[in-house]
């Protein structure tokens, strides 16, 4: 066993003595030792219940003859970090989490590993660590929050507080109504109820095969989630016995499956960033064009908040991720021969899957959109690409020519939006918010939600070298690369310039001559970056482009 290096033989007597100080017996130490990376904290709604999940995982491990050992990682709630300096640390935390899991699992050589995340950066951070460590691993998330209800209408964090705050500031709704929405939007523990980044990545873990069927959609408060946690504990022991490692699961073909599921469900644009980063840790590079190629042939089958009126619990009732995959498998849009942590192939997992509501998970013959939910745009503004959730764009904004309103930070743009300075026909340009320029590539949920809440999402576009929350909707193009801080063309845009966005043709261009653009780029005076110490300072020196997943050099 891998753990023998810390527990077997005369020379490991001091090690055993330390374990016995905790209360472990010789019998427990003789068994396979399974590390549980638990991201429980009292900050994030998606993580507040993970102690009970960990207890269920431990029960499963013990039932299958193993010894669980739990440790913790950090976690940041993106909703709470939104629209202030704290959001600079969100993407940074993905790397810290990956490093911390790696460090503990190397310092304590576990035979297997359970990953217990539930929110935005914690899920990909743990999967990055799994790819690095390459020991038998099962991911089990904490599950989705149920939607709230206010005056007979189902809502969530985005369709509630984020989208009505502009109306509240303008006095268009009463203080009583605003507080009622605020109090009702998040009624349970769990990751926010729509298909935002957290639930997108929980679905991606299932689609990749690193999590068991049901992981992506079983709500946090269902007993079914506790049973799945026990099964995860049992299954990691099976993986240890079979020596089934992440390298056998996280293959290029598995990532293509995940992209197909993502675009079919209409997931978060952050999935692009995170899948690139996980693949990088697995030893290969995804091509951004894979997203366009797969999206072109894979219809958009689910309309989940923020795009539509369904929520993750509805996807679960309709059959879950496995039902989506079964629809895709019918036309060979995914590879069903791949290994998964269930011990079965994708095909084996799909045997019992079925669509239980064809209005929630549409058939291929009746999709919400003929193309999948994601598109990578390129042009003279974004020669290395920019990402848009095309399934969340109003038909009126699929093609647009707009006048640029240029802002050097999210804060200044948000202030202008809230003060009614943005008008129909504008395109809000937010720059110096990229991985290095921010630093940290902040999410822009507050600006995009305010634009949508003010009814301007059919008239106003937004582009940025930063990124978006999974809760963003509208003509919002993020991850513009190269970023402004690296001298990318987005830094050369001037107030009043015309910008053309053509999503069907996958184009985004500044409407000036090539000669004029080159003249501007040659004369660029880049914004002087703020000097940061600590982790942000180190991050600025090491982080790469959003087009490569913002991984560290």
Mean pLDDT of all residues in 384-412:
96
Per-residue pLDDT tens for 445-479? 899 989 988 889 899 999 999 999 888 889 999 99
Length in residues, the chain:
553
Distances (CA, A) of 264 to 96, 233, 439: 31, 30, 32
Cis peptide before 306 (omega within 30 of 0): yes
For range 326-341, the mean pLDDT: 98
Q: Are residues 176 and 223 in the same domain?
A: no
- Assess if residue 99 is contained within a domain: yes
Q: What are 260-280's pLDDT values in tens digits?
A: 999 999 999 999 999 999 999
- 3-state SS assignment for residue 378: strand
Name the H helices within 64-173.
78-81, 90-107, 122-133, 163-169
User: Measured on CA atoms in the order 175, 176, 180, 181, is the torsion positive or negative?
Assistant: negative
Exposure b/e, 150-170, CB count within 10 A at least 16 = b: beeebbbbbbbbbbbbbbbbe
Phi-psi region of 190 (alpha: psi -120 to 50; beta: other; left: phi over 0): left
pLDDT tens by residue, 486-545? 999 999 999 999 999 999 999 999 999 999 999 999 999 999 988 999 999 999 999 999
194 and 230 share a domain? yes
402: its two tokens:
């707009």
Paired sense of beta strands 112-116 and 385-389, if any:
unpaired
Where residue 227 sits, what CATH number does that domain have? 3.40.50.2300
Please tell me the predicted confidence (pLDDT) of residue 471. Answer: 83
Residue 4 covered by a domain: no
Domain containing residue 501: CATH number: 3.50.30.80
**Alpha-carbon 254 to chain mean position:** 17
Same structural domain, 212 and 227: yes
Helix (H, G, I), strand (E, B) or coil at 76: coil
Residue 25 domain flag: no
Q: Is the residue at 7 inside a domain?
A: no
Provide the annotated active-site residues.
Answer: 469
- How far is Cα 6 from Cα 104, in angstroms, rounded to an integer? 13
Q: What pLDDT does residue 163 have?
A: 87
Strand partners, 502: 399, 507
pLDDT of residue 455: 86
pLDDT score of 174: 93
Positions of E strands within 156-275: none
In this structure, are residues 2 and 31 in contact, taking their beta carbons and an 8 Å threshold? Answer: no
Q: Tell which of 305, 332, 350 closes a domain.
A: 350
Number of compact structural domains in the chain: 3
Look at residues 510, 276, 290, 310 and name the one whose alpha carbon lies nearest to residue 391.
310
Are 169 and 193 in a shared domain? no
Q: Is the peptide bond before 439 cis (omega within 30 degrees of 0)?
A: yes
- Measured CA to CA, the distance from residue 239 to residue 210 in angstroms comes to 11
Q: Is the pLDDT of residue 234 over 90?
A: yes
The pLDDT assigned to 454 comes to: 86
The answer to whether residues 285 and 399 belong to one domain is: no
Instruction: Give the list of residues 6+ apart from residue 506 with CB closer than 8 angstroms, or none.
Output: 292, 375, 376, 377, 378
Q: Are 368 and 300 in contact (CB under 8 A)?
A: yes
Same-domain status, 318 and 425: no
Looking at 302, 334, 350, the residue that finishes a domain is: 350
pLDDT class for 171, splitting at 50, 70, 90?
Answer: confident
- Rounded to 5 degrees, what are φ and ψ at 405? -115, 110
Residues 170 and 262 in one domain: no
Query: What is the SS3 assignment for 492-532?
Result: HCCCCCEEEEECCCCEEEECCCHHHHHHHHHCCCCCCCCCC
Asked if residue 198 lies in contact with residue 118, where contact means CB atoms within 8 angstroms, the answer is yes
Q: With left for phi above 0 and alpha for psi between -120 and 50, is residue 534 left, alpha or beta?
A: left
- Percent of the chain at pLDDT exceeding 70: 100
In the predicted model, what is the mean pLDDT of residues 391-404?
96
Max CA-CA distance within the chain? 76
Per the DSSP assignment, residues forming a β-bridge with 464 are 430
Query: Is residue 362 in some structural domain?
Result: no
Q: What is the CA radius of gyration of the chain?
A: 23
Tell me, yes or no, whether 163 and 290 share the same domain.
Answer: no
Contact 342, 350 (CB under 8 A): no
- Cα(166)–Cα(329) distance, rounded to whole angstroms? 43
Same structural domain for residues 164 and 302? no
Q: How confident is the model at residue 438 (pLDDT cuts 50, 70, 90)?
A: very high
What is the reported pLDDT for 33?
98
Looking at per-residue confidence, does 168 or 379 come out higher? 379
Statement to judge: residues 162 and 104 lie in one domain? no
Domain around 164? 148-184
Tokens 């004369």 label which residue? Answer: 523
Distance CA 21, CA 256 (A): 47
Percentage of residues of the chain with pLDDT beyond 90: 95
- Report the alpha-carbon distance of residue 133 to residue 99 in Å, rounded: 10
pLDDT category at 172 given cuts 50, 70, 90 is: confident
Residue 11 lies in a domain: no
What is the structure's pLDDT at 453?
A: 85
**Residues 81-114 pLDDT 10s:** 998 999 999 999 999 999 999 999 999 999 999 9
Residues 303 and 344 in one domain: yes
In a domain, residue 152? The reply is yes
Out of 160, 184, 208, pick the residue that ends a domain. Answer: 184
Looking at the fold, whether 339 and 485 belong to one and the same domain comes out as no
Closest C-alpha among 63, 62, 59, 67 to residue 30: 67
When pLDDT is averaged across residues 378-407 and rounded to a whole number, the result is 97
Domain assignment present for residue 16? The answer is: no
Task: Annotate 149-165 with three-state secondary structure.
Answer: EECCEEECCHHHHHHHH
Residues whose CB is less than 8 angstroms from the CB of residue 516 and which lie 6 or more positions away in sequence, other chains included: none
Q: How far is CA 2 from CA 133, 226, 276, in A?
A: 12, 28, 29
Work out the average pLDDT over 123-151.
98
For residue range 192-230, what is the model confidence (pLDDT) as tens digits?
999 999 999 999 999 999 999 999 999 999 999 999 999
């Amino acid at each position: 066993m891998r753990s023998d290096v810390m527990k077997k033989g005369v020379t490991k007597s001091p090690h055993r003595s330390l374990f016995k100080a905790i209360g472990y017996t010789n019998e427990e130490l003789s068994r396979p030792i399974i590390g549980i990376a638990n991201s429980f904290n009292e900050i994030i709604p998606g993580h507040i219940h993970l102690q009970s999940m960990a207890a269920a995982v431990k029960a499963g491990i013990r039932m299958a003859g193993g010894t669980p050992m739990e440790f913790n990682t950090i976690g940041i709630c993106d909703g709470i970090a939104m629209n202030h300096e704290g959001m600079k640390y969100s993407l940074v935390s993905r790397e810290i989490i990956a490093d911390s899991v790696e460090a503990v699992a190397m310092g304590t050589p576990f035979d297997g590993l359970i990953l217990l995340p539930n929110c935005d950066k914690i899920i990909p951070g743990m999967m990055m660590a799994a790819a690095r460590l390459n020991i038998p691993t099962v991911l089990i998330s904490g599950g989705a929050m149920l939607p709230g209800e206010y005056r007979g209408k189902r809502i969530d964090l985005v369709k509630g507080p984020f989208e009505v705050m502009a109306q509240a500031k303008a006095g268009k709704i009463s203080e009583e109504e605003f507080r009622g929405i605020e109090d009702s939007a998040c009624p349970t523990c769990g990751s926010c109820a729509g298909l935002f980044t957290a639930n997108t990545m929980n679905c991606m873990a299932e689609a990749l095969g690193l999590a068991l069927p049901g992981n992506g959609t079983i709500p946090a408060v269902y007993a079914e989630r506790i049973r799945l946690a026990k099964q995860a504990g049992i299954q990691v022991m099976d993986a240890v016995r079979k020596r089934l490692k992440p390298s056998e699961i996280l293959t290029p073909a598995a990532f293509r499956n995940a992209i197909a599921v993502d675009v079919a469900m209409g997931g978060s644009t952050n999935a692009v960033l995170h899948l690139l980063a996980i693949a990088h840790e697995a030893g290969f590079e995804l091509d951004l064009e894979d997203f366009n190629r797969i999206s072109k042939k894979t219809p958009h089958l689910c309309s989940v908040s923020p795009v539509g009126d369904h929520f993750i619990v509805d996807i679960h009732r309709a059959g879950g991720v496995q039902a989506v995959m079964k629809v895709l498998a019918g036309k060979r849009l995914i590879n069903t021969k791949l290994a998964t942590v269930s011990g079965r192939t994708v095909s084996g997992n799909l045997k019992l899957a079925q669509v239980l509501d064809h209005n929630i998970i549409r058939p291929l013959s009746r999709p919400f959109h003929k193309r999948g939910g994601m598109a990578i745009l390129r042009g003279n503004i974004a020669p290395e690409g920019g990402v848009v959730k095309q399934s969340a764009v109003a038909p009126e904004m699929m093609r647009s020519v707009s006048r640029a309103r240029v802002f050097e930070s999210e804060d200044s743009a948000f202030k202008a939006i809230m003060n009614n300075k943005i008008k129909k026909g504008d395109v809000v340009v937010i720059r110096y918010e990229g991985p290095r320029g921010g630093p940290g590539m902040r999410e822009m949920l507050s600006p995009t939600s305010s634009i949508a809440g003010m009814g301007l999402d059919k008239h106003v576009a937004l582009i940025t070298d930063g990124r978006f929350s999974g809760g963003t909707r509208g003509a919002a193009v993020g991850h513009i690369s190269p970023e402004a801080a690296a001298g990318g063309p987005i830094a050369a845009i001037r107030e009043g310039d015309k910008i053309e966005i053509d999503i069907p043709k996958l184009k985004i261009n500044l409407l000036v001559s090539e000669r004029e653009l080159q003249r501007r780029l040659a004369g660029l005076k880049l914004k002087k970056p703020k000097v940061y110490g600590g982790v942000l300072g180190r991050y600025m020196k090491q982080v790469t482009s959003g087009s490569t997943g913002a991984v560290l050099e």
